[in-house]
Chain A
Amino acid sequence: KQEVTQIPAALSVPEGENLVLNCSFTDSAIYNLQWFRQDPGKGLTSLLLIQSSQREQTSGRLNASLDKSSGRSTLYIAASQPGDSATYLCAVINTNAGKSTFGDGTTLTVKP
């Protein structure tokens, strides 16, 4: 059974800092990994999708990497802004089964 852990559960940083969020998984035979952000009371917004043949994806100030051998994905946020404050979730996707396992999320607060 796939288990997905996101550490830390909460993170508070001053504006402008670069930061890394972690997503660890137990079954290395994963296929895709998707990062989302969730604002309070809102839905999940897709940030980046890394397919199994890829090692990383970039969008603006965000960079996500995937290392299947170590069972880990990281989301790097450069030059953080207060608007980045949200909960960040990772989903480990088994494309063969059409199923995924979500982490519990990291709640990020960026202070002005």
Chain B
Amino acid sequence: DTAVSQTPKYLVTQMGNDKSIKCEQNLGHDTMYWYKQDSKKFLKIMFSYNNKELIINETVPNRFSPKSPDKAHLNLHINSLELGDSAVYFCASSQDVGLNYGYTFGSGTRLTVV
């Protein structure tokens, strides 16, 4: 049983396209996150949702739009993809918004924009 699952695992697409990445967690956690890991392996928070409500929205282009239909799902839609969007995107969840019990990460989605 995968705790935090992301689909697809790999995504190759052309500049200007719109794409979505899906994330689901079966841990019963309240809070979910999207992180971006660039080529230098640096992890940067993009968004977090707690019980379907947006609580963290870092400086991210408007082309990125998260959607949480319920607390077990957090999807990421990206419009008008650019070369600089190429990275690995990680979904994560935590039991509570305060991260008192740390994170559980998904296996990542490697996005390549050509």
**What residues of chain A have their CB less than 8 Å away from a CB belonging to chain B?**
32, 34, 36, 38, 41-46, 49, 51, 87, 89, 91, 93, 95-96, 98-100, 102, 104-105
Contacts and interface: CB of A to CB of B under 8 A. Distances in A.
B100 A95 contact: yes
A72 to B, nearest CB: 19
A99 B56 contact: yes
A44 B90 contact: yes
Interface of B: 31, 40-43, 45, 48, 50, 55-56, 90, 92, 97-108, 110
Contact of A49 (B31, B40, B41, B101): B101
A1 to B, nearest CB: 13
Query: Chain A contact residues: over half helix, strand or loop, or mixed?
Result: strand
A42 B40 CA distance: 15
Contacts of A91: 102-103
B40 A104 contact: yes
